[in-house]
Structure 1
């Protein structure tokens, strides 16, 4: 169990870091503005417009919230992987599926229910954001989780296959 928790922590840190760095880069390239704005945008999901007038504490809150979400998706994927046989067939297909799943959950459920209210609805932005999630979160998690279960807990996958 200690090894699994260690892997989950490392995978969550990796996925969260790749995702936030991708978001920073995309925002900077698209706008030429300070990419740290992204952290205040994340904070605004909880605090609303007041987040944009805050200082360092808003950046820190955004970073913590971002990693909380990244870890939540990481833990969920570690749980889901042995449950769904289809995820075990192809790491790249699983990465695409999980990245799109995250995009759907975040943009069609979480963001609309947050104090942000709605997500920017232009097609190129949606495609870029989905690609970031596939590359930064889907691919690393798919390969890390697949390797973990093959190497450390093949019985979990066997039990699931036998029960279906």
Structure 2
């Protein structure tokens, strides 16, 4: 029997791991646009601003911790709202897709603008669609499936 805490922690760990791995693979390894350390420092810059980019690996660790904190928050939120949204019990794939889109919207239209008042304008192009797809596959879907498995015993 899985506990609530184990469900939230495991879905947060899976989502956080898949998301950061996808970001590093795509942007650092495949596209060679940046490095893994810079990706993690950019996450840390949400709190530490420009200092994050001069802090070396220590800031990368802070960025990784912040990244997982955000993943746990989204996992916790989905877990909490699951019982109140009947659709989540009916179609897990579509629920994961919609939750991934929700996560992308929250991060890109609320969290990032609060952390960084001046952001580049978003254009409907391949990088934007890729970022949405990564969030859907790496965050929305795992959280939806892991949470549904916990609640399956209740319905």
TM-score by length of 1: 0.86
Higher relative contact order, structure no. (Cα contacts within 8 Å, ≥ 6 residues apart):
2
C-alpha deviation, 1:65, in angstroms? 0.3
Q: 1:2: how far off?
A: 7.2
Query: Would you identify which runs of 4 or more consecutive aligned residues in structure 1 move more than 3 Å?
Result: none
- Name 1:23's counterpart in structure 2: 23
2:128 corresponds in structure 1 to 126
Tell me which moved more, 103-112 or 43-52: 43-52
Determine if contact 1:13/1:67 at 8 Å carries over to the other structure.
yes
The 1:119–1:21 alpha-carbon spacing in structure 2 relative to 1, beyond 3 Å, is farther
Runs of 5+ consecutive residues of structure 1 not aligned to the other structure: 155-164
| Post-superposition offset of 1:48 | 1.0
* Larger radius of gyration between Structure 1 and Structure 2: 1
Alignment partners' CA distance in 1, 2:66 and 2:85: 28
Relative to structure 1, is the Cα distance of residues 7 and 119 closer, same or farther in structure 2, using a 3 angstrom cutoff? farther
Segment of structure 1 superposing worse, 131-140 or 100-109: 131-140
Rounded to whole Å, the distance in 2 between the matches of 1:135 and 1:114 is: 25
8 Å CA contact 1:95–1:139 kept in 2: the answer is yes
Partner deviation per Cα, 1:56-75 (whole Å, 9 max, x = no partner): 21011100100000000000
Once the two structures are TM-superposed, the CA of residue 47 in structure 1 deviates from its matched residue by: 1.3
Q: 2:48 and 2:146 mapped to 1: Cα distance?
A: 34
1:42, distance to aligned residue in structure 2 (A): 0.3
- Tell me, in whole angstroms, the C-alpha distance in 1 between the residues paired with 2:118 and 2:59: 19
> Aligned equivalents of 1:116 and 1:40: distance in 2?
18
Change (3 A) 1:76 1:89: same
1:136-151 aligned within 5 A: 136-151=138-153
RMSD after superposition: 1.8
Aligned length: 153
1:58-137 pair list within 5 angstroms: 58-115=59-116, 117-118=118-119, 121-122=122-123, 123-137=125-139
| 2:12 aligned residue | 12
